[in-house]
């Protein structure tokens, strides 16, 4: 239970860890984290929202099955969801005007 409270606390205290609330992939990842923290209610709500958005997504079905198993008292081991790519900052295109290139070779 302590983990659950810590999870909730973390969610409230670290809002900057933004969640795309309508992205099924992100919702699934958040639901898995909630399951790992035994916060089944949060997982249920997030998965229900994700399913509403992407009813055919196989990953959601897998997580929902894990939720059902947890509710049934089974010991479910869930791997931590992959951390979404931080999105490597795009290298800004150089605005310097390059010098004239050598002449173009004729086509062959």
The two structure tokens encoding residue 70: 């947890």
Measured between alpha carbons, how far is 47 from 27 in angstroms, rounded to an integer? 7
Minimum CB–partner distance for residue 35 and another protein (Å): 13
What DSSP line would sit under 8-72, residue for residue? HHHHHH-TTS---TT-HHHHHHHHHHHHHTT-HHHHHHHHHHHHHH-TT-HHHHHHHHHHHHHHT
Minimum CB–partner distance for residue 81 and another protein (Å): 13
* Residue with Cβ nearer another protein (75 or 91): 91
* Residue with Cβ nearer another protein (31 or 66): 31
* Residue with Cβ nearer another protein (46 or 66): 46
2 in Cβ contact with 32 (< 8 Å): no
Q: What are phi and psi of 20, to 5 degrees?
A: -80, 105
Minimum CB–partner distance for residue 13 and another protein (Å): 9
Minimum CB–partner distance for residue 62 and another protein (Å): 11
Kindly list the residues in this chain that would bind another protein in the complex (CB under 8 A): 11-12, 15-16, 18-26, 30, 42, 44-46, 48-49, 51-54, 56-59, 93-102, 104-108
């Amino acid at each position: 239970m302590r983990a659950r409270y810590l999870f909730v606390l973390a969610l409230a205290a670290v809002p900057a860890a933004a969640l795309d609330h309508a992205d099924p992939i992100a919702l699934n990842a958040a639901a898995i984290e909630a399951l790992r923290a035994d916060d089944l209610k949060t997982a249920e709500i997030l998965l229900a929202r994700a399913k509403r958005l992407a009813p055919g997504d196989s990953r959601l079905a897998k997580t929902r099955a894990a939720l059902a198993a947890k509710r049934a008292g089974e010991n479910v081991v869930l791997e931590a969801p992959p951390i979404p790519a931080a999105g490597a900052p795009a290298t800004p295109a150089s605005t310097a005007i390059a010098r004239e290139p050598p002449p173009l070779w004729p086509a062959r």
